[in-house]
Amino acid sequence: MRDVRIKKKVEKILRKYRAKANVTVEDGIVFIKGTVTSWRKYVEIGKETGRIKGVKGVVNDLEYPGKEKKRKKRGEERVIGKADVVIIGGGVVGCAIARELSKYKLNVILVEKSDDVGGGGATKANNALVHTGIGEKMGTLKQKLCVEGHKMFRKIAEELDVPYEECGMWIVISEDSIAYRLPRILKKFLASYIIPFIILRRAKKLGIEMYKVSKKELLKREPYVTEKAIAAVFSPSYAMTCPFRYTIALAENAMENGVKIMLNTEVVDITVENGNVGKVITTKGAIETKFVINAAGLYADEIASLAGAREYTIHPKKGATLIFDKETRKFLNHSMTLLRLPRIEHYKGGGIMLTVDGNVQWGPTIDEIEDKEDTSVTAEEIERIFKTYEPLMPKFPKKAVIAYFSGIRAASFTEDFIIRAAKKVKGFIHVAGIQSPGLAASPAIAKMVASILQQEGLKMELKKDFNPIRKAPPIPREMDMAERKKLVERDGRYGRIVCRCEEVTEGEIVDAIHSKIPACSIDAIKRRTRAGMGRCQGSFCLPYVAKILARELNIPLEKVKKGGDGSELFIGKAKCLLEEKNES
Ligand SMILES: Cc1cc2nc3c(=O)[nH]c(=O)nc-3n(C[C@H](O)[C@H](O)[C@H](O)COP(=O)(O)OP(=O)(O)OC[C@H]3O[C@@H](n4cnc5c(N)ncnc54)[C@H](O)[C@@H]3O)c2cc1C
């Protein structure tokens, strides 16, 4: 009955967009096949379908002019390993799952197609906030897991020796907050009483500590906030972390507890025998297994398709962010966002936010895009960020931007996390649609996946010797002088500064290169040490970092990469080129 009702509603949507398409609905999963005249219509149909009550997934196979055709890659059929569980994807979610599963007597292999954990997807380009869950839609899985993840985060960060700071977050309600056409007095009443009341009631329900402050109190605590503020609600436990260091630490700790991590290993096929997962075929060979965790981010739909377990389509949504010089840290004491009504659907609103490293960030934007790899940042997006957040802090020195980046959210059309056993393929577990707050929710996602595996029949016995503690390598800039002196006496390389902006030493870079998950590119070193993340963005230190990489990896400089394949930075020695020219 439910499927029939859903089908009728989807057909109505298809008529509205004049799509030539067929719909089938199976157990709440909608499959749409056919054609539309534009990519925009393809997205809108998917979104409207995802909003229908009872829909558990939208597989949107509509064709539109210019749609890219995917070609299947070839893998290596030779069996190279056997595992109880194979995790596909070494982003924060895959690594959190790997660590959670390393608590059990299991043989676990994580495969990641890029050259680093946290280096291939959204994990390397987010805002690093450990959200409390207050910004999520009530009753969603993502809200539940965010609330739980936030509560678990402090302990995990301590165990893994990674930064975690409860910086607090203001939700500022100003004269600019309410876009509805209402009398000014009514807007002011809503902003002063009704909106804070609704937020606080919600917070109470979720067990999140929050309180309201007046404009006077807000301006006393945040002197640079807009004078147009009417009131604000404060969340003291809103936190921030370092997504790179956290993900690397999760992976290292998982390895210490027995998980095998295979980098530069792309999954290209999955065999299914009698309805059960059989083998995961990668570019390096096949792994026999009975359980596959699909944590492949933007490509989760394509991975599910390889196993014949497609229950959703991922549609990429870009988010661009601006990073400001550390000098601007003095303009705010806590992170902040400007409440806006009407609310943008499935979007927490972004804001002006602190980072654990002392920079300030503005953003992110939210834009549907067609290409899953489009991480460009356009002048228009930069302008839009300024326009969106300037009303929150008009006197902030906007010229102090030192960098910008964008990350791609792996959104499902139902807009919630999809974490469940596949309906038709035994042993295949979906961990898909993990857009924000995937970082904050990651510890809770990992726990949920472990319990699904148990329900699906995997024998899970806790290890007695699981070691939750992982020690980070030394960071001289975070030490006092006495500690630093001792370290330099032990190894002089900790006294040689390579990145002047971020005070990163040669010792730290060498540690990163020889760590459990070796940093083999400039970007991997940047993520671990911050070399190149400062004011000059690597203009000074890049050649030095490259030289250290070449020396430690024993490779010629021309082989040093910025990031993945094909990103070599040097083509030879300048004088050699001149010599060649003279010869010709
Ligand atoms: C702009 C922006 C801001 C955000 N801000 C926040 C925030 O402040 N707080 C928060 O909680 N969340 C935030 N998020 C969300 C968060 O970053 C994501 O939810 C999280 O990183 C998702 O992690 P993941 O492991 O699922 O995906 P990813 O990090 O994308 O990892 C998936 C991995 O799978 C690998 N992979 C793909 N295909 C294959 C294959 N065939 N074989 C092998 N490996 C494969 C990829 O290389 C990739 O490394 C933000 C996201 C964006 C884009």
Q: Select from 95, 100, 113 the residue to mutate for testing ligand 1; criterion: most ligand atoms less than 8 Å from CB.
A: 113
Query: Residue 574 — pLDDT band, cuts 50, 70, 90?
Result: confident
- CATH code at 19? 3.30.1340.30
Ligand 1 atom with the shortest distance to the CA of 119: 49
Residue corresponding to tokens 């899970």:
460
Phi, psi of 383 (to 5 degrees): -60, -40
- Regarding the beta carbon of 120 and ligand 1, being less than 6 Å apart is answered yes
Instruction: Provide the β-strand partners of residue 421.
Output: 429
Rounded CA gap, 451 and 455, in Å?
Answer: 6
179-227 confidence digits (pLDDT tens): 888 998 999 999 999 999 999 999 999 999 999 999 999 999 999 999 9
- pTM of the predicted model, to two decimals? 0.96
Ligand 1 atom with the shortest distance to the CA of 303: 41
Q: Are residues 432 and 527 in the same domain?
A: no
- Regarding the beta carbon of 381 and ligand 1, being less than 6 Å apart is answered no
Angle at CA of residue 159, ends 153 and 165, nearest 5°: 45
434 alpha carbon – ligand 1 mean position (Å): 7
Report the pLDDT value the prediction gives residue 303, as an integer from 0 to 100: 98
Query: Residue 582 — pLDDT band, cuts 50, 70, 90?
Result: low
Q: What is the CA radius of gyration of the chain?
A: 25
Rounded CA gap, 68 and 483, in Å?
Answer: 56
- CATH code at 440? 3.50.50.60
410 alpha carbon – ligand 1 mean position (Å): 7
- Regarding the beta carbon of 203 and ligand 1, being less than 6 Å apart is answered no
584 occurs within a structural domain: no
Q: Nearest residue CA, atom 18 of ligand 1?
A: 438
Report the pLDDT value the prediction gives residue 347, as an integer from 0 to 100: 61
Q: Are residues 180 and 229 in the same domain?
A: yes
Q: Are residues 14 and 137 in the same domain?
A: no
- What three-state secondary structure class fits 130? strand
Instruction: Provide the β-strand partners of residue 60.
Output: 32
230-256 confidence digits (pLDDT tens): 999 999 999 999 999 999 999 999 999
H helices present in 372-480, as ranges: 379-389, 438-455
- Regarding the beta carbon of 127 and ligand 1, being less than 6 Å apart is answered yes
Report the pLDDT value the prediction gives residue 421, as an integer from 0 to 100: 98
446-495 confidence digits (pLDDT tens): 999 999 999 999 999 999 999 999 999 999 999 999 999 999 999 999 99
Q: Name the residue among 573, 402, 580, 574 with its Cα closest to residue 501.
A: 402
- Regarding the beta carbon of 337 and ligand 1, being less than 6 Å apart is answered no
Instruction: Provide the β-strand partners of residue 241.
Output: 164
Task: Encode 408-421: b = buried (16+ Cβ within 10 Å), e = exposed.
Answer: bbbbbbbbbbbbbb
CB 251 within 8 A of CB 261: yes
122 alpha carbon – ligand 1 mean position (Å): 3
Q: Are residues 482 and 360 in the same domain?
A: no
Report the pLDDT value the prediction gives residue 123, as an integer from 0 to 100: 98
Rounded CA gap, 136 and 475, in Å?
Answer: 35
Whether residue 264 is predicted with pLDDT greater than 60 in this model: the reply is yes
Whether residue 345 is predicted with pLDDT greater than 70 in this model: the reply is no
Q: Nearest residue CA, atom 41 of ligand 1?
A: 267
The whole-number average pLDDT for the span 82-102 is 98
- Regarding the beta carbon of 131 and ligand 1, being less than 6 Å apart is answered yes
Is 430 part of the annotated catalytic residue set?
no
5 alpha carbon – ligand 1 mean position (Å): 34
Residue corresponding to tokens 């876009």:
179
Among 47-51, 340-344, 567-571, the minimum mean pLDDT is found in 340-344
Rounded CA gap, 332 and 319, in Å?
Answer: 23
Q: Name the residue among 417, 444, 448 with its Cα closest to residue 311.
A: 417
582 occurs within a structural domain: no
The whole-number average pLDDT for the span 313-329 is 98
Q: Nearest residue CA, atom 47 of ligand 1?
A: 120
370 alpha carbon – ligand 1 mean position (Å): 17
Report the pLDDT value the prediction gives residue 256, as an integer from 0 to 100: 98
Mean pLDDT computed over every residue of the chain:
95
Q: Are residues 208 and 266 in the same domain?
A: no
- CATH code at 332? 3.30.9.10
Query: Residue 113 — pLDDT band, cuts 50, 70, 90?
Result: very high
209 alpha carbon – ligand 1 mean position (Å): 28
Report the pLDDT value the prediction gives residue 572, as an integer from 0 to 100: 79
Q: Are residues 462 and 517 in the same domain?
A: no
**Residues 6 or more apart from 198 whose CB is under 8 A from it?**
none
Percentage of the residues of the chain whose pLDDT score is greater than 70 = 98
Domain total in the chain: 4
374-388 confidence digits (pLDDT tens): 999 999 999 999 999
Report the pLDDT value the prediction gives residue 584, as an integer from 0 to 100: 46
Pick the catalytic residue: 131, 315, 334, 430? 131
Whether residue 337 is predicted with pLDDT greater than 90 in this model: the reply is yes
121 alpha carbon – ligand 1 mean position (Å): 5
- Regarding the beta carbon of 414 and ligand 1, being less than 6 Å apart is answered no
Whether residue 138 is predicted with pLDDT greater than 60 in this model: the reply is yes
Residue-number span of the structural domain to which 186 is assigned: 169-234+316-408
Q: Are residues 153 and 100 in the same domain?
A: yes
Q: Are residues 337 and 282 in the same domain?
A: no
Which pair of structure tokens corresponds to residue 469?
């503690």
Among 20-29, 443-452, 544-553, 563-572, the minimum mean pLDDT is found in 563-572
- Regarding the beta carbon of 241 and ligand 1, being less than 6 Å apart is answered no
Query: Residue 405 — pLDDT band, cuts 50, 70, 90?
Result: very high
Among the three residues 408, 434, 463, which one is the final residue of a domain in this structure? 408
Report the pLDDT value the prediction gives residue 544, as an integer from 0 to 100: 97
- Regarding the beta carbon of 90 and ligand 1, being less than 6 Å apart is answered yes
